[in-house]
Structure 1
Amino acid sequence: MKKINFGNDKNIISNSLKRIRSERKLTQGELAARMQTLGVNLDQQMISKIEKNTRIVTDYELICFCQALGVGVNEMLRDFYDKLKG
């Protein structure tokens, strides 16, 4: 399977995910539980890898993270957009 990266990044939401999760005062385990209620099989270790930018994020995972955290896609992608603007 071909590895897909954006520059050195495995995903573009790592910083936003960690920030928003922390703002919501959720542990990685609690977020994983919310994701599982949405039908996404992620555990605490997988969320840790996403936040450390060592795991990719699929499109449906992105949408479910937004749903689980109560934010829009633009908010989740804000750090990426800011990075592009330089």
Structure 2
Amino acid sequence: MSAPVVKEMALTRAEFLRLLPGAAGEAPVREGDGVFRVGGAVEIALDPQPPRRLGLFTIPVMRVTLRFHGGTDEDAQAFVRRFDRAFQKGGG
């Protein structure tokens, strides 16, 4: 998976930091130059966007870009699945 995966997510930086360990699993996470490195194969960049306003509600928006270095397409796809599960919001 050589192309980056870009997601627009309704979360703040604080929420991202709280949920990131679930996506990283056992891999170490380091932050530097505004980029999070998960293990040696994944870089995650955050780009805050203007919030969305729906009447009285304000929803934070963050563009999240996942870049993969090394590993296989299957490794990248597995990380994206784990990332999506870790950041999935429930409702009801």
Both proteins in one fold, TM over 0.5: no
TM bracket, shorter-chain basis: 0.3 to 0.5
Under a length normalisation based on structure 1, what TM-score does the superposition of the two structures give? 0.42
Q: Decide which structure has greater strand share.
A: 2
| Larger-gyration structure (1/2) | 2
More helix by share: 1
